[in-house]
Structure 1
Amino acid sequence: MTHLPEITVVHHDGGDRLGETPLWCDQTQDLTWLDIEQPRLHRLHPATGAHSVTPFDCDWLGSQALCTDGTQLIAKDLTLHTYDARTGASSPFVAVEDNAATGFDNRLNDGRVDQWGRLWIGTMDNQLHRPNGAFYRVDGDASVTRIGSDVIVANGIAFSPDGRRMHFTDTRRHQSWVYDIDPADGEITSRRIWADYSATGDRPDGAAMDVDGCLWAAFFGGGKIVRYTPDGRIDREIALPVTNPTCLCFGGPDYRTLYITTAFKFLSPAQRAAEPLAGALLAIDGIGQGLPEHRFKRDIS
């Protein structure tokens, strides 16, 4: 049954065209998130209401990750950059793909760090229909390992609380999978279907894990978020006042606030007028408890 709890508008400055990748920093008690297609990084301190926006010089700002040294990894087009919000300094870390070499029209998209400090990130086809993307593991020494290919839109990367299970979604294939991970070397095995929406065309997007091992997922175009139990059953569905939720994370001092990014992309002017919260940052309190975000262990020796 669809259930509508109290949903709070945390921030809305006219809307993100494609809001994405919210992350809670336990060190600063800040929430950061991106607007992929109006390339900018939002930073919000909920306790004070302080908000800032940092624009980036790129076509696409695909995703972000926190690092152990207090910096961030920012996915600009097809290259990961380090970014230090304290100084504003940014520099290339590693190019994951090269469109000039492949002949593709790809960009980096969803990424997440595992318990051992490795970044898992995917690429996607900018035309949203060709299987030109891939899935990668990026280690702290800037080595890049291709894990899989034949991806249209990489999304929904999340890890079980013990770090031994990884979720991955291809939004435009309308399917999600789960893998087992070897913590020692990052090898993944036993790929199996987690959710298959190929018959309905539903588009699972970004995801987050809670302390109970339940996976929360946003459904782009579906106007809802859902919670899956560890055995893959949907036990909760929450309708939202927007058509395009994109991603979500738990935050706040006790990780009991679920933040949800949204988008106005693909909405007509009439739809936007009827949907004034499209592109806003939303929040729901008290529906679960999350876990601290893992941090990328960059080799800076």
Structure 2
Amino acid sequence: MTITVSKIGDTADLLGESPIWDSENKCLYWVDSVNCLIKRYDPKVKQYQSWKTPSQIGCIGLAPNNSLIVSLADGFYALNLESGEINTLMQPIPPNEKVRFNDGKIDRFGNFICGSMGIHAEPLGELYRMNRVGESKKLANGIRISNCIAFSPDGKVMYMADSLDLKIRAYDYGDGNQDLLEPRIFFDTSGLGSGPDGATVDAEGYLWVALISALY
């Protein structure tokens, strides 16, 4: 396998997260979480565009009608890419200022799966699933830093990690509507001296994981 790595642009992000390739429009989205910016790069014309958000960004996902779904610190939002308007989709009740949303993905069935984290890495985070009509359900709790959310090509396995546990979990995910059962440990990263962060699955079913450089 030959892997080519190239840098996009000359401006560094304070915290670059959640890269997503839009295969229909042939452009790349990602976020600078701390700077509260959603960015888009069109490699064909080498053009950048960005949108400002009102709070720190956890992750984004592609959505219909020229929009993105965005997890901000306190909930899920829809960003209209044409107007820049941001509308609330879901906020946990009651709100908790000690928690913010972090990593997430669109599953193979069109649901948005996103987990939160304790601001100071306390086990206060929760994992939510929101379907296409905006109905949400809590799937798990007691999470310190939710990360590594990804899905097998057929959508029947979900990967997820609490980064501070140093273990990637694999859940039987079914049709995207069922509760989560007890997971199996897919991979233990402790032997690598690091914890799992963002992740994705390629077309052949291999899980690619970014490791953090330091542990808390």
CA contact (8 A) 1:152 1:172 kept: yes
Q: Structure 1's 219 and 184: CA in aligned 2 closer, same or farther, altered over 3 A?
A: closer
Task: Determine the C-alpha separation between the residues in 1 that align with 2:151 and 2:93.
Answer: 24
CA contact (8 A) 1:96 1:144 kept: no
Q: Which residue of 2 aligns with 1:66?
A: 62
Q: Which residue of 2 aligns with 1:7?
A: 5
Q: Flag structure 2 segments of 5+ consecutive residues without an equivalent.
A: none
2:130 equivalent to 1:134: no
Task: Determine the C-alpha separation between the residues in 2 that align with 1:161 and 1:152.
Answer: 27
Pairwise CA distance, 1:16? 1.1
Q: Structure 1's 195 and 76: CA in aligned 2 closer, same or farther, altered over 3 A?
A: same
Q: Aligned residues, how many? A: 215
Identity %: 24
- The TM-score with structure 2 as length reference comes to 0.91
2:75 equivalent to 1:79: yes
1:28-107 map, 5 Å: 28-58=25-55, 60-96=56-92, 98-100=94-96, 105-107=98-100
CA contact (8 A) 2:155 2:174 kept: no
CA contact (8 A) 2:111 2:176 kept: no
Q: Flag structure 1 segments of 5+ consecutive residues without an equivalent.
A: 223-265, 267-301
Question: Which of 102, 107, 115 in structure 1 is aligned with 2:108?
Answer: 115
Q: Which residue of 2 aligns with 1:204?
A: 196
Task: Determine the C-alpha separation between the residues in 1 that align with 2:2 and 2:154.
Answer: 31
- The TM-score with structure 1 as length reference comes to 0.67
Question: Which of 5, 14, 18 in structure 2 is aligned with 1:17?
Answer: 14
Task: Determine the C-alpha separation between the residues in 2 that align with 1:203 and 1:184.
Answer: 27
Tell me the SS of whatever aligns to 1:8: coil
Pairwise CA distance, 1:184? 6.1
* One-letter identity of the residue aligned with 2:53: F
CA contact (8 A) 2:201 2:207 kept: yes
Tell me the SS of whatever aligns to 1:80: strand
RMSD after superposition: 2.1
CA contact (8 A) 1:78 1:97 kept: no
Pairwise CA distance, 1:12? 2.9
- Higher RCO structure, 1 or 2 (CA under 8 Å, sep 6+): 1
Tell me the SS of whatever aligns to 1:193: strand
CA contact (8 A) 2:51 2:84 kept: no
Tell me the SS of whatever aligns to 2:183: strand
CA contact (8 A) 1:182 1:188 kept: no
Pairwise CA distance, 1:69? 2.8
2:213 equivalent to 1:216: no
Q: Structure 1's 173 and 4: CA in aligned 2 closer, same or farther, altered over 3 A?
A: farther
Tell me the SS of whatever aligns to 2:164: helix
1:106-255 map, 5 Å: 106-128=99-121, 130-183=122-175, 185-198=177-190, 201-221=193-213
Task: Determine the C-alpha separation between the residues in 2 that align with 1:114 and 1:30.
Answer: 20
CA contact (8 A) 1:122 1:134 kept: yes
* One-letter identity of the residue aligned with 1:140: R
Task: Give the structure with higher Rg (CA).
Answer: 1
Pairwise CA distance, 1:99? 3.5
